[in-house]
Amino acid sequence: MDPERLILEFQNLLYIESPSKKEGKLAHYIADIFEALGFKCFFDKSAENTGSEVGNLIVKIPGTLPSEPLFFCAHLDTVGPCENPTIIYENGIFRTDGKTILGADDKAGIAILIEIAKVLKENYFPYPPLEFVFTTCEEIGLLGAKYLDLELLDAKEGLVLDSKSPQVIINGAPSSFKFSIETKGKSAHAGIEPEKGINAIYLLAKILAELPTGRVDEETTMNLGKISGGMYLNIVPDLALAEGEMRSHSQEKLGTLQSLIQSKAQEIIDSYPVKLEGLPSFTVKFKKIFQAFYLPPSDALCQLVQRAGQRLGWEMTFKRHEGGSDANIFNEKGLKSLILGTGMQKVHTTEEFIEVKDLIKATQLVLEIIKLKGELS
C-alpha cells in the first residue's frame, strides 16, 4: 500500500459534501475511480425508497482464485453540519476548524477501499472475489442497507468499516426501537373554565415520570428525546406527544420495556378522576429500527479477522457496540457481518478527528484479511 496516496485520497474525499440523501457527487466520484481501475460498478434501485440522489454503489473485483466472495462496506453519507468544511491536517491528525464535522465517518472507510482496489490492481497474489458496497442514507436509519438489492451480491459474509479502533472487532450490536406516546385530553379556556378541560401535557408528564431513562442496565438504554403539545398558554392542551428510543442486546428486555410503557400509560389514564366523552385516552406505538446481532469469537469470520490482526503483530479484542450500523441490517438479512474500526474519533460532533496512523493501520488490516482469506481458500 502507499500511505501518501491513501492520505491524499482521504483528503480529497473530505472536501466532497455528502449529507444523507445528497450522496450523488461523492458516489459518482468514487465510481469513476473504480471504473478507471477496470472494475465493474453499478447502482441499485434503492433511491426509489430512500429518497437519495443515487442508489447504493456496488463494485465487483474479480479474485485471482476461485473462492467464496467477501464483501466490504462503507457508507457514503455524513451527518451535519458539513457545508464548506475547512480541513486542517497537522501533526498527523485530520480535523476541522470546529465549524463542521470532519466526515471521517465514513470517508475513512471509503478511502481505505479505494486504496485497497489500487493495491490489488498493482500487485498479484491469491485473493478471493471481492464486492465493495457503498450505502446511502446510513445516518438517517440505515436506509440504504435496508433497501439494498441482495440479488446483486454474491458474497454471504463481509465486513463493515464503520467504527473507531482498528484493533477492536465489533462482533455484536443491540436492537433499537423508536416509540411514541400520545395523550389525548380535552381543550377548554384555561382561565374561565379549566374544570371543563383535561390537560394532555399533564397526563403525559405523569406517564413519563414513571419510566426509566438513560442506562437501564448493562445492555439496555432508553431515551426520551422529543416532547410536544399545546398551542396557546390560555388553552388547556388536548394533545401531547413524546418520542424516544430504546436499545438492548436482549430482545426480552426490550419487550419488558414496551410492556412497561403500555401499562404505565394505562394506569395513569385509568386513575384520572375526570372522564369526559370517553377522554382522556392514549396511544403508544413502537417501530423497530434495527435488529441486534452477535457473532461469537469462535465464528470463522471472527477468527479470520483476529488472525489477520495477529499476523500484523497486534492484539485484537472483541467488543459489543451500542450503536447501530449497516452490519445490523446485513446480519438480519442473512449476510454475516462484523464491524471494523477505521480510526475515526468523536464522530457526529464538530470535534471529530482521525489520526493518520490509525487510518493506515486499518488499511493494513483490510489488506491482510484479504490476503489471509486467499491463502485459506
- Residue 168 is predicted with a pLDDT of 97
**Fold match between domain 3-173+292-376 and domain 175-290:** no
Q: Which helix (H) or strand (E) holds 189?
A: none
Any idea which architecture 175-290 has in CATH?
2-Layer Sandwich (3.30)
CB 240 within 8 A of CB 256: no
95-150 pLDDT, tens per residue? 999 999 999 999 999 999 999 999 999 999 999 999 999 999 999 999 999 999 99
- Cβ distance 238 to 200 under 8 Å? yes
Domain at 3-173+292-376: CATH architecture: 3-Layer(aba) Sandwich (3.40)
| 261, three cell numbers | 410503557
Query: In this structure, what DSSP letter does residue 159 have?
Result: E
In 3-state terms, what secondary structure has residue 169? Answer: strand
Write the pLDDT tens digit of every residue in 274-301.
888 889 999 999 999 999 999 999 999 9
pTM, entire model = 0.91
Amino acid 216: pLDDT? 96
Q: What percent of the chain has pLDDT over 70?
A: 100
Q: Which three cell numbers stand for residue 34?
A: 473504480
| Domain map (residue ranges) of the chain | 3-173+292-376, 175-290
CB contact at 8 A, 322 and 176: no
Cα dihedral 187, 191, 192, 193 sign: positive
Q: What type of residue is 152?
A: L
Beta bridge partners of 18: none
Q: Are 112 and 161 in contact (CB under 8 A)?
A: yes
Q: Which residue numbers are catalytic? A: 77, 138
And the C-alpha cell for 106? 465514513
Q: Are 136 and 50 in contact (CB under 8 A)?
A: yes
Residues in the chain: 377
Answer for the pair 343, 107: CB distance below 8 angstroms, yes or no.
no
Q: Do residues 179 and 244 touch, judged by C-beta distance below 8 A?
A: yes
Q: How many CA atoms lie within 13 A of 322 on its CB side?
A: 11
CA distance 337 to 108: 19
Q: What is the structure's pLDDT at 363?
A: 98
Measure the CA–CA gap between 40 and 121, rounded to whole angstroms: 13
pLDDT of residue 3: 97
Is the link from the previous residue into 81 a cis peptide, with omega within 30 of 0?
A: yes
Coil, strand or helix: which one is 295? coil
Region 249-259: what's the mean pLDDT?
97
Confidence check: pLDDT of 197 > 90: yes
Taking 90 as the threshold, does the pLDDT of residue 208 lie above it? yes
